Amino acid sequence: MSIPLAERLRPKTLDEFAGQKHLVGEGAILRRAIESGAIPSILLWGPPGVGKTTLARIIATQLKRPFYQLSAINSGVKDIREVIDKASSDAFFGTNHPVLFIDEIHRFSKAQQDSLLGAVEKGTITLIGATTENPSFEVISALLSRCQVYVLNYLDKEDLMGLVCYASQTDEILKKKKIILKESDALLRLSGGDVRKLYNALELYVNSVPEDTVEITDEKLVSVVQQKMVLYDKSGEQHYDIISAFIKSIRGSDPNAGVYYLARMVEGGEDPLFIARRLVILASEDIGNANPMALVLANNCFQSVNVIGMPEARILLSQCVVYLACSPKSNASYRAIGAAQEAVKSTGDLSVPLSIRNAPTKLMKELSYGKDYQYAHSQEGNFAFAEFLPDELSGTKLYE
């Protein structure tokens, strides 16, 4: 079987690497760290097909370090310990500390992530984790605090077109044919900024044309490629489009659309826990106290999906989707915390009013800590008519 085009053209140096100029362009922060050789453990966060694995390999090559690669899907604590033990042993004989690349690190459990802490902290390994999920939610705080997070983006039109030209002119198989790119909109649209999908679409089309001259138009490309590319790629652009439509349908109180997009994800092999987590977030963000039971049901759904698994988990998810879609909606709590955070950012560390400060010592009481505090349960109706915000924010409404 022929090696895929994306693998044949995988960049080996930073100069060959396309896109992510904010990280690896001339003078960019990550490039400077790589060239200096002083690179910490890092997390590469971004969508599929933007170069996370390639960048990890380039870093190891540039630093002249041994490179170990694990996938969180089929690796466990035993595999991690084997790499760490080998790194410790090699270091004794003067070998450079290796780069350990973990793909989809967000799929590791807390225990698996915990097993990395000691080696990362001691510098036994340089960890490079790749994730398509927000590391703030998916990576334990202890590991997150020991890593620098870099965000990778989808490639833009200019970068993608450059790669098409490069592939046509340099790939040993493609350059045997005369490729004429008459139109490019469909190719760029099908790629969605994902290099792997771009190369797959290009290779699929070129291989479908027996003649030596290959003319690419939008209509011809779509007629060939769309028949062969999956409609829901759980690690690609459709992943983000479908989950967006799913959330917006429930937020818009449409149970029919909600269940439809749920089915799209289920049939596409999406992780049911990923779906359940999004429902928990939605229950608080978009329903909140308009129906507090929504969060209870969503959380129970998450726990039950975790215990039961597929295929029965689809029934639990469907029940939860219908309930949330049919619930009254309120994002007041979501807006309130957003407004409060903006107030904190703009005003800084304001002093807590003296009346509601803790006063555990005589000195603090002498300094008026807790003075004039109105204990709500001693007031009529258990309501204290007092101001609790800092003086500078007195009267500010954050929750509406």
pLDDT in tens, 352-386: 888 878 887 888 777 778 788 888 888 888 877 77
pLDDT on residue 400: 86
pLDDT on residue 172: 85
Tokens 């922060």 locate to 29
Domain ranges of the chain: 20-151, 157-225, 237-326, 349-400
The larger pLDDT score, comparing residue 348 to residue 246, is at 246
Between CA 33 and CA 30 the distance in angstroms is 5
**For the chain, counts of helices (H) and of strands (E):** 19, 7
Inter-residue contact 72 to 111 (CB < 8 Å): no
pLDDT on residue 235: 52
Question: Is it the case that residue 257 has pLDDT exceeding 80?
Answer: yes
Inter-residue contact 213 to 178 (CB < 8 Å): yes
Q: Which of 195, 190, 257 is nearest to 224 (CA)?
A: 190
**Domains 157-225 and 237-326 agree in fold:** no
pLDDT on residue 326: 98
Q: What is the DSSP letter of 11?
A: -
pLDDT bucket at 229, cuts 50 / 70 / 90: low
pLDDT bucket at 270, cuts 50 / 70 / 90: confident
Q: Which of 294, 198, 135 is nearest to 6 (CA)?
A: 198
For range 137-153, the mean pLDDT: 89
Question: Is it the case that residue 277 has pLDDT exceeding 90?
Answer: yes
Tokens 């927000």 locate to 134
For range 262-281, the mean pLDDT: 89
**Which distant-in-sequence residues (6+ apart) come within 8 Å of 325 by Cβ?**
249, 250, 253, 254, 255, 258
Tens digits of per-residue pLDDT, 319-337?
A: 999 999 999 999 999 999 9
The CATH topology of domain 237-326 is Zinc Finger, Delta Prime; domain 3 (1.20.272)
% of the chain beyond a pLDDT of 70: 94
Between CA 328 and CA 95 the distance in angstroms is 62
Question: Is it the case that residue 155 has pLDDT exceeding 80?
Answer: yes
- The correct answer on CATH 1.10.10 for the domain covering 157-225 is no
Q: What is the CB neighbour count within 10 angstroms for residue 130?
A: 25
For range 299-316, the mean pLDDT: 90
pLDDT on residue 360: 79
Inter-residue contact 179 to 208 (CB < 8 Å): no
**Which distant-in-sequence residues (6+ apart) come within 8 Å of 286 by Cβ?**
250, 251, 324, 329, 330, 331, 334
Residue 9's DSSP bridge partners are none
**Among the ranges given (32-36, 72-76, 260-264, 314-318), the one the predictor scored with the smallest mean pLDDT:** 72-76
Tens digits of per-residue pLDDT, 77-94?
A: 888 888 888 887 766 445
Between CA 396 and CA 400 the distance in angstroms is 11
Q: Which CATH architecture group holds 20-151?
A: 3-Layer(aba) Sandwich (3.40)
Question: Is it the case that residue 304 has pLDDT exceeding 90?
Answer: yes
Inter-residue contact 102 to 70 (CB < 8 Å): yes
Inter-residue contact 287 to 324 (CB < 8 Å): yes
Q: What is the CB neighbour count within 10 angstroms for residue 217?
A: 16
Question: Is it the case that residue 205 has pLDDT exceeding 70?
Answer: yes
Using CA of residue 90, residue 92, residue 96, residue 97, what is the dihedral sign? positive
- The encoded tokens of residue 209 equal 């044309």
- CB hemisphere CA count around 57 (13 angstroms): 14
Inter-residue contact 388 to 340 (CB < 8 Å): no
Question: Is it the case that residue 218 has pLDDT exceeding 90?
Answer: no
